[in-house]
Structure 1
Amino acid sequence: MNTELVLGLVLTAGIILGELGEKLGFPRVTGYILAGFLLNPDILHIVPVSFVESSEPITNVCLALLTFSVGGTLALGPLKELGKGIAFIALGEAELAAFMVTIGTLVALPLIVHIHGATFMATYLPLGLLLGALASPTDPSATLAVMHQYKAKGPVSFTIMGVAALDDALGIMNFSIATALAAVFSANTALHIGSLIIPLGAIAGAVILGVACGFLFHFVARALRRAPEGLYIVMIIAVLSLCYGIATLANLDQLLATMTVGITVVNFGRERDRIFRLIEDYAEPLIFVLFFTISGMYIAFSVLVKFLPLVLLFVVFRAAGKLSGAFAGATLAHAPKTVRRYTGWGLLPQGGIVIGLALIMRQNPAFASISNIIVSVTIGAAVIHELIGPITSKLVLQKAGELPDLTHHSGSH
């Protein structure tokens, strides 16, 4: 089957199941991933394995745009207005989720699943660190969709939206550090200061590259400020592809680099509102359909079945970390009782950027022996999170008294 036909199938299946998912009350992303499941070479044998293996350039450009958008949520002015309470809650839920999943994986995985030739330092520790970092990000789209549908207003809704602005950025930073450490352990070499300098240098270099590309973005955008919107979108994709490609060439952290471009543009670029509006209106629909449908095609179902207990462990330990971390952060910030009690439940949905992080890790030869496990577990858990997320979000916002439509409706009977 030729590539053009496969691409048409991917987009068509993604659009149909995305729309169907939304009509059934689920996020469109869930439908896209399920479309990828159906087109997975392990299931229907319609799409050749060669297409999935050669789709990295597509997913990489999609990731560059996704992480750029994440960086675009970190405008310093609005973040300062949100206050330190939001920062406490975001740090608490992101870091405790990472900690709980890391410890849970290290303790439970050797007992429930046998991995041939595995050792603690070279297999289980990298697995624990990477899965822990992948537990940090939240996909707030399910919760935000519920808020929008029922016109939710109140301190819990406000807090969830504020935490969502920081959450993915913390997840990317956690993942960058975890990848650097896990690569050292996977190499099965002695840990010393010298072995950490290169990975940490890659993180610092990514930030410097991102800032440089951000200012390049700023100057090009000013030169093209009277250009039509189509040319503007081409410019956005061109600069982000350059940044991602240079980071890959220089062995720097690609996602941290493109996220830093977003942070630089949103804080220093005069054309920032136009740039992020164009991405949201035109680029994101195509990027989301392509990226998440192709992501579903990466799952190795034999691996997913074998490691299903790990998927469930990931979901449970992550939920425990999110709930306890959000509660602890809200308590430290002296937040109202409803915020302490309910915010964590609105942070359970997961998809989006976490799948991108797993696919980036898959490209790293240092993790060849564990990459299929991590990708399958991450996407499997994301589907569970995207299915239960809208339900838990609606329930907790209703309990917090922040869904006026439902409150009014129930009060009228």
Structure 2
Amino acid sequence: MNILLAIGFLLIIGYASGWLLERWGLPKIIGYMATGIIFSPHTINFLDPEITSTSQPILKVCLSFIAFEVGGALKWEKVQKHEKEIISITLLASVFPYFLIAGCISGISLLFPGFIPYSPINILCLSLILGALASPTDPTATFAVMHQFRARGKVSDTIVGVAALDDALGILIFSFTLGLISIFIGPDNASWDSPLIFSLYQIGAGILLGIVLGYGFQLISRFFKSTSEGQWVVIVLSLLIFCAGLAQYLKVDEVLASMSMGIFVVNKCNQQKLIFKILERYTEEIIFLFFFLLSGLYLNIATIPKAFFFILLFIILRTLGKYLGSHTGARFAKAAPVIQKNTAGGLIPQGGIVIGLVLSVYQDPLYKEISDILLTTIMGTSIINELIGPVAAKYSLKKSGELRKTK
């Protein structure tokens, strides 16, 4: 089956699945993701295995678009109202899962020697890396649910702010962890802080790239006084594709670059209301359909039984850590009770960036002893978290009374 026929087929089935779930009151992105998983080359021998690599540029563009919209939700006037809550929740909701998972796996290996079939140093590496991989959240799933049900309010604003920031913090925690591990198992000439320095470059240069392109966007909107909706769609998509390509060329974080551009545009561009309204009206639906459908193609459901114990432990402890961290962070910031109780539900989805992080470890020969179990665990948890995450997000937003559309 050629690539156009395959993608066209998947779009039809995926959209129909999403439509059915929406009729039942469920987030339609679950239907998109489930369609991708069912027709994945890892699940059934129906599509050419090369579809994942062939469709990768489309996936990157979609991710850049969604990151741009996430950034566009961070208007300073709204963020300023919940600044303390967002910072406090981001810090604790990232750190709590890290220590829960790393501590629990290390504790089990001490209490039950031989239960985890690795050497002590590899168990330590496994526990620390899995803990670090628990920090990032996938903001795209929660963001899609918010738009489907038109969620607005203080909980929605807080969730968007936290989800936008904890990816950057998650990359830092992961890189710092690899730097720490390299002290014990790295080669003699390894520089322990090189992963941290590289992550700082990825984050800092990614943010700077987004700001520079956002400024270019501002100049275009100032001197190009166009009211044509079609022209603005072309301009935004062109800049986002250019941003993603340039970020990839410079080896900086593509998500942060696109998100930073969105933040700059929504706060500085004089036509920002028109721009984001046009994008929401004309392009958002097809972008979400493409992104979650193609993401599902990467997930191998057959990997779940191989690491059932670690998958179960990771999901339980990460969820517990996110709830405890977000609740404690909100209490420290003296946030409203509705924020304390309902923010964590929007922080459950995980995919995208965490899959990229674990693949970078998988390809490193330094971790060859534990690379298979790491990849299997994260791929398995990503499947489950991406499916239950949107339901948790909808439930939290419904409890907070911020859903405007319930059917």
Offset of residue 141 of structure 1: 5.1
Measure the CA separation in 2 of the matches of 1:121 and 1:345: 28
Q: Which amino acid aligns with 1:180?
A: S
Q: Which amino acid aligns with 1:174?
A: L
Measure the CA separation in 1 of the matches of 2:89 and 2:171: 21
Change (3 A) 1:336 1:74: closer
Task: Count the aligned residue pairs.
Answer: 390
Q: Is the 8 A contact 1:71 1:261 kept in 2?
A: yes
Q: Is the 8 A contact 2:72 2:276 kept in 1?
A: yes
SS in 1 for 2:351: helix
Which residue pairs with 1:154 in the alignment? none
Which residue pairs with 1:248 in the alignment? 248
Q: Is the 8 A contact 2:141 2:390 kept in 1?
A: no
Q: Which amino acid aligns with 2:73?
A: T
Q: Which amino acid aligns with 2:32?
A: Y
Change (3 A) 1:243 1:332: same
SS in 2 for 1:252: coil
Offset of residue 287 of structure 1: 1.1
Pick from 111, 123, 129: which aligns with 1:126?
129
* Residue 139 of structure 1 pairs with residue 166 of structure 2: no
Which residue pairs with 1:153 in the alignment? none
Which residue pairs with 2:368 in the alignment? none
Alpha-carbon displacement from aligned partner over 1:69-126 (angstroms, at most 9, x marks no partner): 1111222122223453454345443443454345446656998765799924655433
Change (3 A) 1:235 1:344: closer
Measure the CA separation in 2 of the matches of 1:255 and 1:331: 30
* Residue 380 of structure 1 pairs with residue 384 of structure 2: yes
Q: Is the 8 A contact 2:342 2:396 kept in 1?
A: no
Alpha-carbon displacement from aligned partner over 1:282-302 (angstroms, at most 9, x marks no partner): 222111111101111111223
Offset of residue 372 of structure 1: 5.2
Q: Which amino acid aligns with 1:8?
A: G
Measure the CA separation in 1 of the matches of 2:403 and 2:270: 37
* Residue 357 of structure 1 pairs with residue 353 of structure 2: yes
Which residue pairs with 2:233 in the alignment? 233
Measure the CA separation in 1 of the matches of 2:37 and 2:104: 28
Structure 2 unaligned residues grouped into runs of 5+: 365-370
Offset of residue 166 of structure 1: 0.7
Alignment map for 1:158-237 (pairs within 5 Å): 158-181=153-176, 184=179, 185=181, 188-189=186-187, 190=190, 192-194=192-194, 196-226=196-226, 228-237=228-237
Offset of residue 30 of structure 1: 0.7
Offset of residue 269 of structure 1: 1.2
Structure 1 unaligned residues grouped into runs of 5+: 149-156, 407-413
Alpha-carbon displacement from aligned partner over 1:114-164 (angstroms, at most 9, x marks no partner): 57999246554333312333489982654776786xxxxxxxx84412212
Which residue pairs with 2:334 in the alignment? 334
Measure the CA separation in 1 of the matches of 2:393 and 2:195: 40
Offset of residue 310 of structure 1: 3.0
Offset of residue 40 of structure 1: 1.2
Change (3 A) 1:388 1:252: closer
Change (3 A) 1:35 1:113: farther
Measure the CA separation in 2 of the matches of 1:163 and 1:236: 26
SS in 1 for 2:45: coil
Measure the CA separation in 2 of the matches of 1:160 and 1:98: 24
Change (3 A) 1:53 1:147: closer
* TM-score of the pair, normalised by structure 2: 0.82
Which residue pairs with 2:282 in the alignment? 282
* TM-score of the pair, normalised by structure 1: 0.81
Change (3 A) 1:404 1:364: closer
Change (3 A) 1:87 1:128: closer
Change (3 A) 1:5 1:78: same
Alpha-carbon displacement from aligned partner over 1:25-53 (angstroms, at most 9, x marks no partner): 21011111111122111333221111112
Q: Which amino acid aligns with 2:167?
A: I
Measure the CA separation in 1 of the matches of 2:75 and 2:25: 31
- Percentage identity across paired residues of the two chains: 25
Alignment map for 1:12-411 (pairs within 5 Å): 12-82=12-82, 84-104=84-104, 119-120=122-123, 123-134=126-137, 139=142, 142=145, 158-181=153-176, 184=179, 185=181, 188-189=186-187, 190=190, 192-194=192-194, 196-226=196-226, 228-337=228-337, 339-340=339-340, 342-344=341-343, 346-347=345-346, 349-350=348-349, 354-361=350-357, 364=360, 367=363, 369=371, 370-371=374-375, 373-391=377-395, 394=398, 396-397=399-400
Give the alignment's Cα RMSD to 1 decimal: 3.5
Offset of residue 336 of structure 1: 5.0
SS in 2 for 1:119: helix
SS in 1 for 2:283: helix
Measure the CA separation in 1 of the matches of 2:283 and 2:116: 41
